[in-house]
A and B are shown apart, each in its own frame.
Chain A
Amino acid sequence: MVDQFAIQYQSPLRVLVVEDNPVDLTVIKSMLTGTTDNYTFLKTASTIKTALEIIEEYPIDVVILDLNLPDSQGEKTLQTVHNRFNDLTIVVNTGAYEEELGLHTLSNGAQDFLVKGRYTAYTLNKVLHFAIKRKKLETELTRTVQQVKDAQEQLLQAEKMNVVGILASGIAHEVRNPLATILYGITYLHENIRVEDKNYHHVLKNIKEATKRANDIISDLLDFSKFKKLQLDETNIHHVIKKALSLIQYEIDKKTLQIVNDFQNSIPPIKIDQNRIEQVIVNLLLNAIHATEEGKISIRTYTRTLSNDLTEIPQISRKNFTPGQQALFCSIDDSGSGIPAEDIDQVFYPFFTSRRAKGGIGLGLYVARNIIDIHKGALILKNNEDKGAQAIVVLPYR
């Protein structure tokens, strides 16, 4: 049995033993060299300073690390080595009465720990080989997780780019109205008002050119992000919600949140632009998450026949619906801070945000409402009676 294992562990290792007690060092060295000749490389250090120098200079597979050295004690020793050499496999060698400390080191960068005087040459070999293997897997896992995170970040960025199109036409409208006012004003002045001052026409000409320049910038912006037509397809809203959730999973994971899906069975497909509605759901979910430190966020879907007076739809959006029409409702209900009474009229304005310091831009709701508007739907945001806020998207079936 033992022999079988011995064969398995025979690949050569490059080991550094960091140990200031000469007796302990001798024990380890003899264990390592006694069982097999395969330690092609065995270095020793008695201080953390020399240990770091050796790791810097030589390729080392695994370090056996005593925590209490003349120039560094306790967990700090592990931290120092681990922080500086993240990818290095470390096995901690603790004193006989420090098992608890040993356990602790596992969450701070060590792959395993040995208790002095309690292991044999065989277990030492096994521990070192396993530690290296484990470290390798851990590194791969960390890298994969990072890649997934990066990909998510990029997806979200792409979502936000969609925003630019909607924003651009908003800006064009807001900025061009005053520009047009200026333009017609100076054209009138230029053609109708006689002024003696020799600078008069020069000033008008400059204003006119500046106006034109500002207008060209708006044109470029529109060009860059021409608000594309809706791409309407028969869509299962639940797929869209799930996709939105997967895009922001990492935001959910940052907190202690419970996401509850309360979906109506066999919901009829609805004609929508999937990407844009997904963006609406993403924006609304992000708001709910940002407002909620811990607790529940419920996503509910259901279909209803609208009433004859359309009271369930806010006044401003009623023109989009007809009484008795079938509509799809999707509500996102959080248990967070709710919206302060003085803000509730402003949350849909572009650039209104209460999260400026935390990176909020104040476009989430503005964009969401625009998208819902061009779908001829309604977007409602209100406070819950007990706690938190609720956003409801209503989309008509046609």
Chain B
Amino acid sequence: MKKKILLIDDEAAFTSMLKLFLESTGEYNVAVENNPHRAVNAAEIHTPHLILLDVIMPELEGSDVADRIRQHPNLNKTPIIFLTATIREDEMQESQGVIADQQFIAKLSNTDFLIDSIEKKIALTHS
């Protein structure tokens, strides 16, 4: 069965490309939400195995979205990976992307590293 991923980012062009790429691996079904205010709602509907969440969005920051998801009784176990543009890839890999207990991935990571991180995170939470 394919794994469900919810992708939350206000950049529509970016989300559609990342969705295309992830789905082309044959491993995932990707749902996209470009409005951070509707993020919790989208998560309720799709019940994803994992959420990819942009850090910097106007109006509502990624960390606020994450707080809401984690406070939600049905969603609080859903693993979240933050996507960020303001950290370098090598910085990221030094700490395996874990900063202050949160999993981060550089938006321009090499694609293998992205898949790898997603797989690990899902395996960890659903084992």
Taking Cβ atoms with an 8 Å cutoff, the residues of A that contact B are: 169, 172-173, 176-185, 187-188, 191-192, 211, 215, 219, 222-223, 227, 316, 319
Interface 1/0 per residue, B76-101 and A, CB below 8 Å: 00000000011111000000000000
Given known A179-B108, A183-B108, A188-B24, contact A172–B85 (CB-CB < 8 A): yes
Cβ-defined contact, B14 with A188, below 8 A: no
Partner of A219, one of B14, B56, B88: B88
Give the shortest distance, in Å, between A173 (CB) and chain B (any CB): 5
Q: How far is the CA of A312 from the CA of B24 in the complex (A)?
A: 50
Cβ-defined contact, B86 with A181, below 8 A: no
Taking Cβ atoms with an 8 Å cutoff, the residues of B that contact A are: 11, 13-14, 17-18, 20-21, 24, 56, 59, 64, 85-89, 107-108, 111
Query: Which residues on A sit within 8 Å (CB–CB) of B87?
Result: 222
30 A-B contact pairs sorted by A residue (CB < 8 Å) = A172-B85, A172-B86, A173-B85, A173-B86, A176-B86, A176-B107, A177-B85, A178-B13, A179-B107, A180-B14, A181-B13, A181-B14, A183-B108, A183-B111, A184-B14, A184-B17, A184-B18, A184-B20, A184-B21, A187-B111, A188-B17, A188-B20, A191-B24, A211-B108, A215-B108, A219-B88, A222-B86, A222-B87, A227-B86, A316-B59
Cβ-defined contact, A181 with B17, below 8 A: yes
Q: Output the residue of A179, A182, A183 with the most chain B CB within 10 A.
A: A183
Q: How far is the CA of A61 from the CA of B108 in the complex (A)?
A: 70
Q: How far is the CA of A179 from the CA of B11 in the complex (A)?
A: 12
Query: Which residues on B sit within 8 Å (CB–CB) of A191?
Result: 24
Give the shortest distance, in Å, between A314 (CB) and chain B (any CB): 13
Give the shortest distance, in Å, between A345 (CB) and chain B (any CB): 14
Cβ-defined contact, A187 with B21, below 8 A: yes
Q: Output the residue of B13, B20, B85 with the most chain A CB within 10 A.
A: B85
Cβ-defined contact, A169 with B24, below 8 A: no
Cβ-defined contact, A185 with B20, below 8 A: yes
Query: Which residues on B sit within 8 Å (CB–CB) of A192?
Result: 24
Tell me the interface secondary structure of chain A in the complex: helix
Residue of A nearest to B114 (CB): A184
Give the shortest distance, in Å, between A369 (CB) and chain B (any CB): 12
Q: How far is the CA of A176 from the CA of B87 in the complex (A)?
A: 10
Query: Which residues on A sit within 8 Å (CB–CB) of B64?
Result: 319
Q: How far is the CA of A375 from the CA of B13 in the complex (A)?
A: 32
Cβ-defined contact, A177 with B21, below 8 A: no
Q: Output the residue of B20, B89, B107 with the most chain A CB within 10 A.
A: B107
Partner of A173, one of B18, B56, B88: B56
Give the shortest distance, in Å, between A295 (CB) and chain B (any CB): 37
Give the shortest distance, in Å, between B27 (CB) and chain A (any CB): 13
Q: How far is the CA of A182 from the CA of B18 in the complex (A)?
A: 10
- Chain A to chain B: the 9 pairs with minimum beta-carbon distance, closest first: A176-B85, A184-B17, A180-B107, A184-B21, A181-B14, A169-B86, A185-B17, A219-B88, A173-B85
Query: Which residues on B sit within 8 Å (CB–CB) of A187?
Result: 21, 111
Residue of A nearest to B55 (CB): A173
Q: Output the residue of A169, A177, A182, A215 with the most chain B CB within 10 A.
A: A177
10 additional contacts, CB 8 Å, given A178-B14, A182-B17? A173-B85, A176-B85, A178-B13, A184-B21, A187-B21, A187-B111, A222-B87, A223-B88, A227-B86, A316-B59
Query: Which residues on A sit within 8 Å (CB–CB) of B85?
Result: 172-173, 176-177, 180
Query: Which residues on A sit within 8 Å (CB–CB) of B24?
Result: 188, 191-192
Query: Which residues on A sit within 8 Å (CB–CB) of B59?
Result: 316
Give the shortest distance, in Å, between B1 (CB) and chain A (any CB): 22
Cβ-defined contact, B11 with A181, below 8 A: yes
Q: How far is the CA of A188 from the CA of B85 in the complex (A)?
A: 20
Query: Which residues on A sit within 8 Å (CB–CB) of B108?
Result: 176, 179-180, 183, 211, 215
Give the shortest distance, in Å, between B63 (CB) and chain A (any CB): 11
Q: How far is the CA of A188 from the CA of B11 in the complex (A)?
A: 18
Cβ-defined contact, B11 with A177, below 8 A: yes
Query: Which residues on B sit within 8 Å (CB–CB) of A178?
Result: 13-14
Give the shortest distance, in Å, between A317 (CB) and chain B (any CB): 12
Residue of A nearest to B18 (CB): A184
Q: How far is the CA of A117 from the CA of B126 in the complex (A)?
A: 109
Q: How far is the CA of A188 from the CA of B30 in the complex (A)?
A: 15
Cβ-defined contact, B21 with A188, below 8 A: yes
Q: How far is the CA of A188 from the CA of B21 in the complex (A)?
A: 5
Give the shortest distance, in Å, between A25 (CB) and chain B (any CB): 78
Give the shortest distance, in Å, between A228 (CB) and chain B (any CB): 13
Q: How far is the CA of A224 from the CA of B17 in the complex (A)?
A: 30
Q: How far is the CA of A370 from the CA of B85 in the complex (A)?
A: 17
Cβ-defined contact, A177 with B107, below 8 A: yes
Query: Which residues on A sit within 8 Å (CB–CB) of B14?
Result: 177-178, 180-181, 184
Query: Which residues on B sit within 8 Å (CB–CB) of A215?
Result: 108
Cβ-defined contact, A222 with B21, below 8 A: no
Q: How far is the CA of A374 from the CA of B68 in the complex (A)?
A: 20
